[in-house]
Chain A
Amino acid sequence: MIQFSDEKLKEVQRIIGFYPEGKQKSAVLPVLHLAQQEFGGWLSVATMDYVASLLQIEPIEVYEVATFFSMYNLKPVGKYMFEVCQTGPCMLNGSDNIIKYIGEKLGIKPGETSADGLFTLKTVECMAACGYAPMMQLGKHYREHLTKEKVDAIIDECRKNAELNN
């Protein structure tokens, strides 16, 4: 059942309040972020329909937006998503090798999820961290100046967290 908690519904109301009367459609991006975070890290059709009903807009208006922006996942992803930047400035500092290393270590290619459902590797374009390259986004934060050792440590950290939360 797709339904925000009362607390999250309050957050939705707070966001809708950012915009003038009748302009609640503007809240679609922030509310989709909230929905993706709450409902398993991706946007199913049911989730998008729910967002449409909350904002009193047509489902198609939500699909149009959700398919345009690269931060929305339209299919299930792993518990931990490694979003590694591959654009020029990061490439100059070895992002290609980091992407390859993560792929080999987890046995997946960019765009794939590991068999245990823990990890998804995604290549992304410039994240405005070019001076701290190579880098990736993991959850809310950036991990910068990546090396193989740092990648190892991050993967261990995720595995430990996953165990603790089980």
Chain B
Amino acid sequence: MGSKLLLDKVHIENIRSYDVYRREGGYRSVEKAIRSMNPVAVMEEVKKSGLRGRGGAGFPTGMKWSFLAKPEGVPRYLVCNADESEPGTFKDRYLMEFIPHLLIEGLIVSSYAIGSNRTYIYIRGEFKWIIDILEQAITEAKNNGWLGKNILGSGFDCEIYVHSGAGAYICGEETALLESLEGKRGNPRIKPPFPAVRGLWDCPTVVNNVETIAAVVPIINDGGDNYAKIGTGKSTGTKLISSCGNIKKPGVYEIEMSISVEEFIYSDEYCGGIANGRRLKACIPGGSSVPILPANLLLKTAKGDSRMMTYESLADGGFQSGSMMGSGGFIVLDEDQCVVRHTYTLARFYRHESCGQCSPCREGTGWMEKILLNIENGKGKMSDIDLLWDIQRKIEGNTICPLGDAAAWPVAAAIRHFRDEFEWHITNPDDAQRRNYGLANYAEPLKVVAV
């Protein structure tokens, strides 16, 4: 069993309630930080831990905090990103639903480090019941003196508010989130200026993912150095992986970033193997925006090394033969699944979620969706594959925010690795309506073909 830092207590009965959470050692990190550390020392511990943002981009958290501008007399804000809308990702929901005080505890310590007296949780609006759970936890924390004015007699004031979104993936992008928090449409801002300089209401702001904030609790309790001992290389600590698709045991797992992908998929401690005795065809290991990999390249890198569940190993080979850790949304496709149809649903998702500010993203996502649907319905032409390739290239890197890239990458990777399946749909349109392409040769090691 790997060590668990976030979910170790999640199965204790009533851990959702303050009394049980506190009895189990909850809020010790607040006591420690506020009583014996100054904000800079808290930040230093987080730097030492090597913690990287768990929202998708993997940016070092301590460094992000240290970029925060500190002009005199201007408030600073911490905003927790609980928008969790990346297909395949449902880990933050699990954490907030079952151990809400861990997030609140992490937010108090992080607010202290950053100097935020008003901290917001921007949560996706669909999580209506979780909003109640969080508000209850905040009330309990406040009633017990962990929030409010002059916390533990330190002179530090802090309030946490839950702000509900209303169904827009783009509001997970940090600047769109801030626009939305200001009561406007969720249109991403042009960067720079970065939120650390001009964020919420033009004030310096840090935006962090739910899991990132929760990880601050064990870092302060046990020290950044101890946290950094878990995992490998630049992937320190534990990571929550939400796994779904065609596996035996879908769910949220906390892993040490030192296990292999093979162990994660096949061991009974985690996914328990592929469902219904099928074979593994493909996997998107880090949420819908990261490249899909065929089984052979998922389990082993192009160099033939075991692929590990780490930031570095998942990205090994770049986009030619690798993928990314992303948000930890692990989507598994078995041999009976259709890559074209799956890619089509993702293209439809990005078209639906594009905010519409940039033409390449607004128009390109719609074109990709239409072309993919045609191919899926047996109405595709061979030239459509190259057209898709061309469109995704013209979106990537040419937009205000990374949603454009996120829409382009899944299509690019599907064509790169599964071109034969696209071609089969086009050359066998009738067959393609009746059955799926199947596993083909993906179970066998393939040579990496540069497209």
Give A contacts to B, CB under 8 Å. Answer: 18, 20, 23, 25-30, 32-33, 55, 57, 61, 64-65, 68-72, 86-89, 91-93, 124-133, 137, 140-141
Contact = CB atoms under 8 A, between A and B. Distances in A.
**A27, A61, A92, A128 — which one has the most chain B CB atoms within 10 A of its CB?**
A128
B182 A33 contact: no
**B92, B201, B345 — which one has the most chain A CB atoms within 10 A of its CB?**
B345
B180 interface: yes
B28 interface: no
B435 interface: no
A92 B129 CA distance: 26
Contact of A29 (B180, B337, B348): B180
Contacts of B84: 128
Nearest to A69: B166
A88 B164 contact: no
B90 A128 contact: yes
Interface in B150-192: 161, 163-169, 180-186
29 contacts: A18-B161, A18-B163, A20-B118, A25-B184, A26-B182, A29-B166, A64-B185, A68-B355, A69-B125, A70-B168, A71-B125, A87-B346, A87-B349, A88-B88, A88-B342, A92-B337, A92-B342, A126-B169, A126-B288, A128-B90, A130-B87, A130-B90, A130-B245, A130-B329, A131-B242, A131-B244, A132-B90, A133-B244, A140-B129
B86 interface: yes
A70 B166 contact: yes
Contacts of B250: 130-133
Contacts of A26: 163, 181-183
Contacts of A61: 183-184
Contact of A92 (B128, B167, B201, B333): B333
Nearest to B334: A92
Contact of A88 (B87, B353, B355): B87
B183 A86 contact: no
Contacts, number: 147
Interface in B236-276: 242-246, 250-252
B346 A129 contact: no
A128 B89 contact: yes
**B89, B167, B250 — which one has the most chain A CB atoms within 10 A of its CB?**
B167
B126 A127 contact: yes
B48 interface: no
B184 A65 contact: yes
**A69, A71, A125 — which one has the most chain B CB atoms within 10 A of its CB?**
A125
Contacts of A33: 125, 164, 166
Nearest to A61: B183
A88 B342 CA distance: 5
Interface in B285-319: 288
A57 B182 CA distance: 13
B165 A29 contact: yes
A71 B166 contact: yes
Contacts of A32: 166
Nearest to A24: B183
A71 B129 contact: no
Contacts of A88: 87-88, 288, 331, 342, 345-346, 349
B186 A68 contact: yes
A142 to B, nearest CB: 8
B406 to A, nearest CB: 13
Contacts of B169: 125-126
B341 interface: yes
Contacts of B90: 128-132
Contacts of A127: 126
Contacts of A91: 341-342, 345
B221 interface: no
A88 B244 CA distance: 10
B358 to A, nearest CB: 16
A28 B125 CA distance: 13
A70 B331 contact: no
B183 A70 contact: no
Nearest to A62: B183
**B244, B329, B349 — which one has the most chain A CB atoms within 10 A of its CB?**
B244
A71 B167 contact: yes
B329 to A, nearest CB: 7
Contacts of A57: 183
